[in-house]
Amino acid sequence: MEALMNSLLTSSQHLADTLRHLEFSAPVAFTYHPLDYAWQAHARYVECYGKKSRRILLLGMNPGPFGMAQTGVPFGEVSMVRDWLGIHEPIDKPALEHPKRPIHGFACQRSEVSGKRLWGLMKERFVTSDAFFRDHFVLNYCPLVWMTESGANLTPDKISAVEMQPVEHACDVHLREAIEWFAPEFLIGIGGFAEQRFIRACKQLDGFKPKIGKIIHPSPASPAANRGWAEAATREMIALGAWSP
């Protein structure tokens, strides 16, 4: 545990510390920091499942409003985090909370479709969380949630490029440290954005040549994902060589 506390968890804390005081202009009106108000749950996730040497590292983009924003866990749909991952920690509140996007933590009644799909597939294929995490870990590239004045979610590509520079620098450092910690054989982006972040990170890691690929993102905003995401993602994992048929 001591080695873990001095590496992956410490890297997450450094990321949170670096991002905490950044400010963003319009269209951003609210910024949530789950690594602050949901730190206990995030730390529990890393402590339980973030041991060294994982064959497959999966990467998402940033928290969804009813997933990691509520639970501190990537793709962290409440019921899956609580019932399958076995994580149920106290969740605080953001410093500035949008009235239409309240943080209820594990009392949240809304379901995060992307997280339900992702963890649902892993539960179906591996049955137990311990079996899944024996070879896998799931990480988000950026831990921040941005919203407009109306409460609409903003993805990183909608944020000013100048204001995203320090965010991306901090997230790139954390991603490289995570890759070095796990030393995985496969780096698999959940969507094209994450795949590109893996490619960029590996250019700065001399002598490390993992297999990089992507699977379809489980977002309900994707028509393709709504036509059988689990089956499509499974085919892609098999085609990449990460999973056996």
* Domains and their CATH numbers in the chain: 2-237 (3.40.470.10)
Say if pTM beats, i.e. exceeds, 0.75: yes
More confident residue, 208 or 15: 15
Q: Name which of 12, 140, 173 is nearest 68 in CA terms.
A: 140
Q: Confirm if 56 and 184 have CB atoms less than 8 A apart.
A: yes
Average pLDDT over residues 63-86: 97
Residue 6: predicted pLDDT: 52
Q: DSSP letter for 57, please.
A: E
Q: DSSP letter for 17, please.
A: H
Q: Is the pLDDT of residue 4 over 80?
A: no
Residue 208: predicted pLDDT: 82
Q: What percent of the chain has pLDDT over 70?
A: 98
How is residue 227 written in tokens? Answer: 């036509």
pLDDT band at 206 (very low <50, low <70, confident <90, very high): confident
Q: Is the pLDDT of residue 132 over 70?
A: yes
CA separation, residue 95 to residues 64, 106, 166 (Å): 18, 18, 21
Average pLDDT over residues 225-244: 98
CA separation, residue 195 to residues 88, 168, 199, 217 (Å): 30, 15, 6, 11
Mean pLDDT in the chain? Answer: 95
Residue 2: predicted pLDDT: 39
pLDDT tens column, 15-54: 999 999 999 999 999 999 999 999 999 999 999 999 889 9
Radius of gyration of the chain (CA): 17
pLDDT band at 207 (very low <50, low <70, confident <90, very high): confident
Residue 1, number of CB atoms within 10 A of its CB: 8
Q: Name which of 75, 34, 65 is nearest 150 in CA terms.
A: 65
Q: Confirm if 140 and 74 have CB atoms less than 8 A apart.
A: yes
Q: Confirm if 4 and 46 have CB atoms less than 8 A apart.
A: yes
Q: Which of 51-55, 139-143, 188-192, 228-232 has the lowest mean pLDDT?
A: 51-55
Whether the link from the prior residue into 27 is cis, omega within 30° of 0, is yes
Q: Is the pLDDT of residue 1 over 80?
A: no
Phi, psi of 184 (to 5 degrees): -75, 160
Q: Judge residue 201's burial from the number of C-beta atoms within 10 Å of its C-beta, 0-12 exposed, 13-18 middle, 19 or more buried.
A: buried
